Amino acid sequence: MADEQITILIPTCQRAGVLPYALATCLAQEDRNCTILISDNASEDETPDVIARAAAKDSRVRSIRAARRLGMTEHWEFALSHITDGWVVILGDDDGLLPRALPNLRQATARHPDIEAIGWPYSFYIYPDPAKSVHASGLLALGQATEEHVRDSRQWLRKLANFRSAYYTELPQAYHGMVHTRLLERIRTQGGRQIATRIPDVYLGVAMASACGRYLRMQTSQSLFGSSPHSNGASSQGQGDPKVYERFNADSTVGQHPSVPSMRSISSLILEALLTCRDSQLLPQDVPINFEAAFVRTFVENAALPQPDDAATVGRLACEIGQEQTFIKLGAMEPTELSQLRAELLSTGWIPTFQWCVNILATSNVQDVDGAVRIAEMIYTDPQAREALLPPPPPPAVAPPVAPQPTASSIDVCENHSFADAISTIARKVVRELARPMRTLHRP
């Protein structure tokens, strides 16, 4: 299995400005038993020329092209239909592979020959952008696990579906992960298609975890999520070109789940993936969905977005999943209470954390993902280079006097360590009924 074909799939559309940097990180891989497959979604800019130059330089580069502009899900399925065996790694056209990614992955498959899916810690790079703050533009953030380990898929699905302590990037991934075509075929057979929602990476994470018993979680990242001004992800979160998100919605022909209106909140997208997998009987029956916690996170995330979805849309979600009273209670919160609730929710392990963060535009004048992956590799593998690259730690702060902490009985914390544990004392005054007792709701 360790010597099987690996296909690096890069779906792209109108991204001639950043695609060369993503390709450079793939061409730098020393592995010769790999294919770099670029799927062009009917681009009308110089993307075909970028692809042709890369193919002329390296025989591992292949390309396919959609006859017309497709939605993201349709394009990914079109591209995956051209891969019939071996392993698949999916990258965005502004993302990058670390220099030793493929050798590391081959060694991992040799150590774990029965594994069909591999994930790694979430790490990202923000391209220089005058529209972003001086601190964010050029930021590199690297995650790292304590050690490489094999995970029980169902256990991590339960954590995700409880909306408490596991983000979707903790699941096995095809996008910024590696999956065997056998597993993708089982998903297609069991679920009716390989990707069944408008957000392919979120759906595939849930579907892959539902269809495999175990997966490997590597210690360090093998790739970087790139965030450039025209990224779909950045645009959907109100941090990029709004026209990209508008075009994304216009191109998609995949229907929305009837219980989840189209929203920007990541938690709503996770909920939709879980419900879609449950409807197709992919999701194991013993993985309950905590609708109450899902709605709380969706509401709080939406309120923090630069361009939040309107109250009618959020209210429609509440009605569909039986959370009308939760919607009323959260809607009554003051902005300061809502901000504190958000801070408390972020502290529960739901959002990825990072081992190292550095602005490589300021420290090294790196301006693209090809340079960023090289810096990332040095930080991971060379302690001396890491010390030179990273800013010195701040001086220790003088700790303020410690005030007496309220006891569990004084703030009515449930003994079962429910989702209420994550809610601050101030917020708890508003959502006390929501938190005592916190219940997992099962929809028929």
Summarised one tens digit per residue, pLDDT across range 44-78 is 999 999 999 999 999 999 999 999 999 999 999 99
Residue in 34, 151, 160 with CA at minimum distance from that of residue 91: 34
DSSP class of 175: B
Q: Looking at the predicted structure, is the pLDDT value of residue 247 above 90?
A: no
Q: Looking at the predicted structure, is the pLDDT value of residue 348 above 50?
A: yes
d(CA 102, CA 63): 20
**CA geometry: angle at 348 spanning 162 and 334, to 5°?**
95
pLDDT score at 233? 67
In 32-165, the DSSP E strands lie at 34-40, 61-65, 87-90, 96-97, 117-119, 124-126, 139-142, 149-152
pLDDT score at 423? 33
DSSP class of 411: G
> Tokens standing for 164?
């408490």
pLDDT score at 255? 86
d(CA 408, CA 415): 9
| 47, 16 Cβ separation under 8 angstroms | yes
Q: Looking at the predicted structure, is the pLDDT value of residue 426 above 70?
A: no
d(CA 376, CA 366): 12
Return the top range by mean pLDDT from 264-268, 345-349, 424-428.
264-268
Is 147 in a helix, a strand, or coil?
Answer: coil
pLDDT score at 114? 96
**CA geometry: angle at 39 spanning 33 and 44, to 5°?**
145
d(CA 345, CA 72): 30
Q: At 229, is the pLDDT very low, low, confident or very high (cuts 50, 70, 90)?
A: confident
Q: Looking at the predicted structure, is the pLDDT value of residue 274 above 80?
A: yes
Position with higher pLDDT, 310 vs 405: 310
Residue in 94, 95, 64, 101 with CA at minimum distance from that of residue 80: 64
Pairing verdict, β 6-12 and 117-119:
unpaired
- How many other CB atoms are found less than 10 A from the CB of residue 32? 8
Q: Which residues pair with 75 in a beta bridge?
A: none
What count of residues does the chain have? 444
Q: Looking at the predicted structure, is the pLDDT value of residue 414 above 60?
A: no
Q: At 238, is the pLDDT very low, low, confident or very high (cuts 50, 70, 90)?
A: low
Instruction: Please provide the average confidence, as pLDDT, over all residues in the chain.
Output: 86
Least confident of 4-13, 40-49, 239-248, 327-336: 239-248
Return the top range by mean pLDDT from 19-28, 253-262, 397-406.
19-28
Query: Residue 194 corresponds to which amino acid?
Result: Q
Cis peptide leading into residue 437 (ω within 30°): yes
pLDDT score at 248? 73
pLDDT score at 3? 84
DSSP class of 144: B
**pTM of the prediction?**
0.86
Could you read off the pLDDT of 325-335 as tens digits, one per residue?
Answer: 999 999 999 98
Could you read off the pLDDT of 367-410 as tens digits, one per residue?
Answer: 999 999 999 999 999 999 898 888 776 666 555 544 444 333 33
> Tokens standing for 391?
């800013």
Please give the share of the chain, as a percent, with pLDDT higher than 70. 85
Q: Looking at the predicted structure, is the pLDDT value of residue 245 above 90?
A: no
Q: At 422, is the pLDDT very low, low, confident or very high (cuts 50, 70, 90)?
A: very low
Q: What is the mean pLDDT of residues 97-101?
A: 98
